[in-house]
Amino acid sequence: MKTSRGRLAALALGLILVLAAALRFTGLNWRLRQTPELDETDFVENVAKMIVERDLDHRFYEYPGLFFYTLYPFLSLLPKAALTGPGAYLLARRVVASFGVASVGLSFWLGAQRVSVQAGLVAALLLAVSPIEVETAHMIRPDVALGTLALLTLWAVWRVGVSSRGDTIAGLALGAATALKFSGLLLFPSYLLRRVFEPGRRLRGTLIAAVVATTVGVACTPYAILHFREFAAGAYAQWHYHYRGGGPAPRLNEILLYYLRTIFRSLGPTGSLFAVVGLSAARRDLRTWRPVVALPIVMLIVLSTAESRWIRLIVPALGATGLVAALGFESVARRFPRTAWILVLAGALVPVRDAAHYVRAVSRPGTRDRALDWVEAHVPPGGVVFTSMPELAFDSARRELLFPAGSPEQNRLTADGVGALVWEQEAPEWLKGRLPDAVFEPSDPLEGPRVVAYRARDVSSRWRPLSLGGARLSASSNAVDLPAAADGRLETYWKAAEPDTAEEWLDVALPTPVWIGRIELLLGQRPNRAGRRLRVSVSDDGHRWTPIVSAPGRPEVERQVGIEEGEGSQVVLVAPTLTRWVRISAQSPPGKRWGFAELHLDAVDSPEVSEARGR
């Protein structure tokens, strides 16, 4: 009988672990086609720097070092070229998800040790289907790993007694938790509540735990000592983020309710009910349960005093709340075993539905992904996309991105000179007269914002290269090299005479008036000479100059396609203007002289001809 029950429990645990893994590992590649979130970038890119530089300086001192060191051995398996690519982020997310599954196993083990096997199964089930834990396990953040260490710390705390060995083990766990994230400090009250009420040398035991924890913390964050000033500044930045006013948030009750609702959402209705029963049952064995109950209470109190609130911050306490709920389940199951199991299984359907909904939503292509597919289908490699969404990280080796930064007139110019437009939510006023070519509506908020896409107007086919054979060139300096700007060769350059100048200019006097629409400065093998703040002016006589509306037609040189092959250039789109004299002005780049290899001017149809063609 005991053997069959053991097999049944093992089968149940196996199914729970499979469910936990399925919920955490499915959909881990969400948004990896776009720019990663800043928090994820902070971890992956700094681990990549550690690997490339072959050091242990985690550099991002707003966090301790252990989470970086945890990711290090896994990311070091990747080629250097892939260390900051989507594969690195996916691998890091898998590491986080593995901690989530480990926490489920630990919940069973602790529940089985301190209550019963069936209580351990309940604790594991509640954590396995927790939508809060599942969502956080899809992100590269240390909260899920801290949840694993929190459970290990509770196990270590239960070993505290007469022997100082228990204090040493507790110190190891507490030091590791604090080295993973500063909020690991919130585990110390659980240890102290055990130490104070246990026999033995309390003061000596506390000192041993403190010394061991400090030693482990420093060993896992050595740069807290080596770069103490920078580390202190990073710790203060974290503190200031959560306590901007310097003290507790004025909305304490509101934030407390927010986190209580988060725990309720994690446990589900019956899991929360069992947790309440568990709190009552814990009073009969305070020696065991005082440290467990203290953890979520301490976290609730501290988090409620902060101005910033995020559901993931409560994740380290979810394992403890699940254990308390399992204790409540055991209390009910002793009298009503079938009813208790029906309640826990039926109640688990609520959080598992919530978690499955999240996993299903992030597993489907989001609106940003569908917009990317549309761009790939309609914009050829090397094309330029004008977008309001900087997170849309198109393949930087294939397409270029431009972002709105000027007046409506300038943005309209850019919109008419690129391969496509992709906009979040509604289009701006200067696009209101155009119907989008594609609209990507989210069926769920998790799929991203509404995105509209437009094909560019066919303006490029109306640009006609102008020959500079009969034109006269003049410049603010270095006139001797001016012929190089129109000799048809990318190996010769015009450049300003001096570096770091506030303004240099180059004038073009054409033989006859033409409608100017586009200017391109080819950079050849000297992209570092690209000018800053390019401006265009025209003149009626070559003496008095009038600025005209202009806008970029390519992004900054650093974000251009083909820059390594000498295909870098600066493109300036201008409002169609009839003129003979054109002036291009720019600032020199820092420490360099403004220059380029070739100057190209493109003519366009007059507004009347363009309007007639449009009709």
User: For 64-103, what is each residue's pLDDT tens digit?
Assistant: 999 999 999 999 999 998 998 899 999 999 999 999 999 9
Helix (H) or strand (E) holding 346: helix 337-363
Tell me the C-alpha distance between 152 and 99, whole Å.
12
Q: What is the pLDDT of residues 501-530, one digit of tens each?
A: 888 999 999 999 999 999 999 999 899 999
Segment 275-298 shows an average pLDDT of 94
pLDDT digits (tens, 9 = 90+) for 155-174: 999 999 888 899 999 999 99
Mean pLDDT to the nearest integer, 376-392: 86
Give the three-class secondary structure for 519.
strand
Residue 204 burial (10 A CB sphere; 0-12, 13-18, 19+): exposed
CA angle 111, 264, 339 (to 5 degrees): 60
Mean pLDDT of the chain: 90
Judged against a pLDDT cut of 70, whether residue 190 lies above it is answered with yes
Query: What amino acid occupies position 267?
Result: L
Instruction: Say if residue 34's pLDDT is above 80.
Output: yes
Element (H, E) at 298: helix 286-304
Percent of the chain residues topping a pLDDT of 70 = 96
Cβ neighbours of 7 (radius 10 Å): 10
Burial of 455 (0-12, 13-18, 19+ CB in 10 A): middle
- 9 pLDDT more than 80: yes
3 state DSSP class of 398: coil
> What's the whole-number mean pLDDT along residues 337-366?
94
C-alpha angle 358-364-366 in degrees, rounded to nearest 5: 95
- CA gap 151, 130 in Å, rounded: 16
Give the model's pLDDT for residue 324.
97
pLDDT value, residue 610: 59
Quick one: tokens of 547? 């600025």
Task: Judge contact between 588 and 496, C-beta under 8 A.
Answer: yes
Is 80 exceeded by the pLDDT of residue 565?
Answer: no
pLDDT at 4: 77
Q: Residue 1's pLDDT is what?
A: 46
Tell me which amino acid residue 108 is: F
CB atoms within 10 A of CB 589: 18
Residue 263, pLDDT above cutoff 90 = yes
pLDDT greater than 80 at residue 351: yes
Q: What is the DSSP letter of 456?
A: P
**Cβ–Cβ contacts within 10 Å for residue 187, how many?**
30
Using alpha carbons, list the distances in angstroms from residue 336 to 22, 331, 339, 556: 32, 9, 5, 70
Quick one: pLDDT at residue 406?
79
Structure tokens at 46: 């700094």
Angular region, 528: left φ>0, alpha ψ -120 to 50, beta rest = alpha
Distance of alpha carbon 468 from alpha carbon 582, whole angstroms = 12
- Predicted local confidence at residue 615, as pLDDT: 45
DSSP states of 130-142:
-HHHHHHTTSS-T
SS3 401: strand
**Phi, psi of 550, deg, nearest 5:** -140, 160
Axis crossing angle, helix 143-158 with helix 164-180, rounded to the nearest 10: 170
Q: How far is 476 from 487, CA to CA, in rounded Å?
A: 19
CA distances from 132 to 20, 24, 237, 471 (A): 13, 11, 26, 68
Summarised one tens digit per residue, pLDDT across range 104-160 is 999 999 999 999 999 999 999 999 999 999 999 999 999 999 999 999 999 999 999
Coil, strand, or helix at residue 249?
A: coil
The pLDDT score that the predictor gives to residue 429 is: 82
The band of 586, judged by pLDDT with boundaries at 50, 70 and 90, is very high
Q: Is the pLDDT of residue 614 over 60?
A: no
Amino acid at 199: P
**Mean pLDDT confidence for 24-32:** 93
Query: End-to-end distance of the chain based on CA atoms, in angstroms?
Result: 87
Q: The tokens of 417 are what?
A: 């000179």
Report the alpha-carbon distance of residue 470 to residue 510 in Å, rounded. 7
What is the mean pLDDT of the segment spanning 17-27? 97
- Distance of alpha carbon 597 from alpha carbon 80, whole angstroms: 34
For the segment 223-240, what is each residue's pLDDT rounded down to a tens digit?
Answer: 989 999 999 998 888 888
Q: Report d(CA 331, CA 491) in Å as an integer.
A: 84
pLDDT at 174: 96
How does DSSP assign 482-545, residue by residue? Answer: GGGGGSS-SS--EE-SSSS-S-EEEEEEEEEEEEEEEEEEE-TT-GGG--EEEEEEEESSSSSE
